[in-house]
Amino acid sequence: MPDVILYTKDLSKAFGGLIAVNQVSLEVKKKFITMLIGPNGSGKTTLINLITGVYKPDGGKVFFNEREITGLLPHEVFRLGVARTFQIPQPFRKLTVLENLLAAYPNNPGEGFFSALRRGRWMEDEEEAVKKAFRILALLKLDNLWDQEASKLSGGQMKLLEIGRALMADAKLLVMDEPVAGVNPTLAHEIFKTLRELRDKLGITLFLVEHRLDIALQYTDYVYVMANGSIISGGEPKQVMMDPQVIEAYLGG
C-alpha cells in the first residue's frame, strides 16, 4: 500500500464498561486531507489518542509508513514523523514565536540554545534551525510575529504556531483535533487554506477531527464517520453526507 501513510486494524479501547473505540480499521492516504467526523462522544479523540500513543489499545494495530507503531510512546511516534495537535494549543507561552519553533527542532541541543549567546559549537546548527524556522513562519504568515511572546498570540495564531512546531520537527503526518474550534469563520477558512497549501508545498498528510463541517468539508479529500465507537461510513464528502446512516447518526442524537 505505497499510497497509504497510516492505517489501523481492528483498533479497540474501552473505559470500564464503555467501548469508546470498537474494532476500527481505517486508512489515511498520503498527501490527502482526511477528516474524521461524528457526534459528541463517538470516540474520535480516543481514536487519535490510540494512533498517537497517548493511550495503549486493548486490541488491534496501528501502522505508519508500513511500520507497526502500536503501543509506542507519544514521543516515539512523534520522532517517526507523526505530530499531534490538541483541541487547546499548548505552546511554551513565555517563549517567543521563533523560540517555540526552535524548541521543536529535532537537533535542538537543549538548554542555552534559545539564548543563542553561547556561540561556538552549536553555531552552524543554530543557523540552520533559524533559517528553517523562518521558512516555516513565512508559509504560515507568522514571520512578522517572530519576536512576539506566544501568550500574546490570538487563538488562531496559536493554532498556526502549533502547526509550525510540528513542521519544524519534520512531521510527515499531522493529526489534529479540532483545528478550527473556537476560531471565527474567516480565520477558520484561512487556517484550512494554509493547511491545504502546506500539503501542496511540503507534501505532508493531514488527518483531522472536526465538528465545523460547513467549513471543513470543502477542504477535505476523504471523510470517515464515527458513531458509538465504530466507523459507519467513509468516502468523498458529498457522497458521505448523503449516506442515510450518517444523517441518522447526526439527527438521531
| Residue 42 or 205 with smaller CB distance to Mg ion | 42
Residues 183, 212 contacting (CB under 8 angstroms): no
Q: How far is the CB of 226 from ligand ATP (least distance, A)?
A: 6
Provide the pairing of β-strand 205-209 with 33-37.
parallel
Site for Mg ion in 42-61 (CB under 5 A): 45
> What's the rounded Cα separation, in Å, for the pair 72 and 63?
11
Residue 115: DSSP 8-state: T
> What's the rounded Cα separation, in Å, for the pair 216 and 204?
18
Q: How far is the CB of 67 from ligand ATP (least distance, A)?
A: 25
Q: How far is the CB of 196 from Mg ion (least distance, A)?
A: 23
| Residue 87 or 184 with smaller CB distance to Mg ion | 87
| 59: partner contacted, choices ligand ATP, Mg ion, none (Cβ within 5-8 A by kind) | none
Residue 101: DSSP 8-state: H
Edge-to-edge, what's the strand order for the sheet holding 59-64?
18-29, 4-15, 59-64, 67-68
Site for Mg ion in 18-47 (CB under 5 A): 45
| 234: partner contacted, choices ligand ATP, Mg ion, none (Cβ within 5-8 A by kind) | none
Question: What does the binding site for ligand ATP look like in residue numbers (CB under 6 A)?
Answer: 15, 18, 20, 38, 40-46
How many residues contact Mg ion, by CB under 5 A? 1
| Residue 40 or 115 with smaller CB distance to ligand ATP | 40
| Residue 2 or 16 with smaller CB distance to ligand ATP | 16
Q: How far is the CB of 65 from Mg ion (least distance, A)?
A: 26
DSSP 125-170: HHHHHHHHHHHHHHHTT-GGGTTSBGGGS-HHHHHHHHHHHHHHTT
| 18: partner contacted, choices ligand ATP, Mg ion, none (Cβ within 5-8 A by kind) | ligand ATP
Half-sphere exposure of 123 (CA within 13 A, CB side): 5
Q: How far is the CB of 43 from Mg ion (least distance, A)?
A: 9
| 41: partner contacted, choices Mg ion, ligand ATP, none (Cβ within 5-8 A by kind) | ligand ATP
| Residue 36 or 72 with smaller CB distance to ligand ATP | 36
C-alpha cell at 37: 467526523
Q: How far is the CB of 41 from ligand ATP (least distance, A)?
A: 4
> What's the rounded Cα separation, in Å, for the pair 121 and 23?
50
| Residue 126 or 178 with smaller CB distance to ligand ATP | 178
Q: Which helix (H) or strand (E) holds 45?
A: helix 44-51
